[in-house]
């Protein structure tokens, strides 16, 4: 089963330092999400936007997160607005050629 990528983007109503503090306060909650292999935190300071790229081991894990309480908490935060969320399948063979972290996907899913 191909791994699943979730891309979330949003705009900021807060300063970069305040947003970075917010991220620090919730990072462990994201680390504890079942089925989440990794998250890359994104920030475009000049564009006043941020987001994340998430790798999930399955559609179920992605959907459990996306429609769960942590995502709802983020989406309802007053400092964040104009959300978009897109899901993708990982093209593992060509990703490996370009040094994408396919080994992390395969090893984690294979050992589960």
CA distance 25 to 30: 10
CATH number where 100 lies:
3.30.70.100
Q: Quickly tell me which residue has 């990528």 as its tokens.
A: 5
Number of domains in the chain: 1
pLDDT tens by residue, 34-65? 999 999 999 999 999 999 999 999 999 999 99
- State pTM to two decimals: 0.86
pLDDT tens by residue, 60-82? 999 999 999 999 999 999 999 99
pLDDT band at residue 96 under the 50/70/90 scheme: confident
Whether pLDDT at 4 is above 60: yes
CA distance 95 to 112: 22
Domain carrying residue 95: 4-111
Burial of 55 (0-12, 13-18, 19+ CB in 10 A): buried
């Amino acid at each position: 089963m191909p791994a699943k990528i979730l891309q979330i983007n949003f705009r900021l109503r807060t300063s970069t330092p305040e947003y970075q503090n917010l991220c620090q306060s919730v990072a462990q909650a994201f680390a504890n999400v079942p089925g989440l292999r990794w998250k890359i935190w994104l920030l475009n300071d000049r564009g006043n936007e941020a987001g994340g790229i998430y790798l999930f081991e399955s559609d179920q894990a992605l959907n459990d997160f996306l429609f769960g309480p942590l995502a709802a908490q983020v989406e309802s935060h007053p400092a964040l607005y104009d959300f978009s969320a897109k899901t993708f399948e990982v093209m593992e063979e060509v990703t490996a050629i370009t040094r994408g972290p396919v080994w992390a996907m395969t090893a984690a899913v294979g050992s589960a």
